[in-house]
């Protein structure tokens, strides 16, 4: 199991979690709307959880049902970044709104 970054990170991308990660498994580029945790690199230490100001990071087994798509999106990002970005666009709220796209 690893940790997962969920929807509340979208368009926030606060780097507090990156700063405390001992294995540098949290990544994103300027083109990304959120950060992602590499499940193959994550050592399950949980150091990233408390620094996150938007409570976006959960142990995979604790991700709520409505956030489950983000488990796969985090995995997908490290295999096909473009596909992960498309998935975030499909699911994520729009900038400045609390409403997901239709």
* Mean pLDDT over each residue of the chain, to the nearest integer: 92
pLDDT tens for 8-46 read 999 999 999 999 999 999 999 999 999 999 999 999 999
Distance CA 8, CA 90 (A): 15
Give this prediction's pTM: 0.89
> Does position 100 have pLDDT exceeding 80, yes or no?
no
Residue 64 resides in a domain:
yes
Cα dihedral 30, 91, 7, 96, rounded to 10, equals 70
- Residue range of the domain that includes 47: 3-91
Q: Is-contact 62 54, C-beta < 8 A? A: no
Q: Is residue 15 part of a domain?
A: yes
Report the CATH number that the domain containing residue 53 is assigned in CATH. Answer: 3.30.70.20
Q: Are 87 and 74 spatial neighbours (Cβ–Cβ below 8 Å)? A: no
- Per residue in 36-53, pLDDT tens? 999 999 999 999 999 999
Q: Residue 101 domain-assigned?
A: no
Kindly state whether residue 84 falls inside one of the protein's structural domains: yes
The tally of domains found in the chain comes to 1
């Amino acid at each position: 199991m690893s940790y997962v970054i969920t929807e509340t990170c979208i368009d926030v991308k606060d780097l507090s979690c990156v700063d405390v990660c001992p294995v540098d498994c949290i990544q994103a580029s300027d083109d990304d709307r959120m950060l992602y945790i590499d499940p193959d690199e994550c050592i399950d230490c949980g150091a990233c959880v408390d620094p996150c100001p938007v409570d976006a990071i959960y142990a995979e087994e604790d991700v709520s049902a409505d956030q489950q798509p983000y488990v796969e999106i985090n995995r997908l990002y490290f295999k096909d970044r473009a596909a992960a970005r498309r998935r975030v666009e499909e699911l994520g709220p729009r900038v400045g709104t609390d409403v997901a796209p239709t």
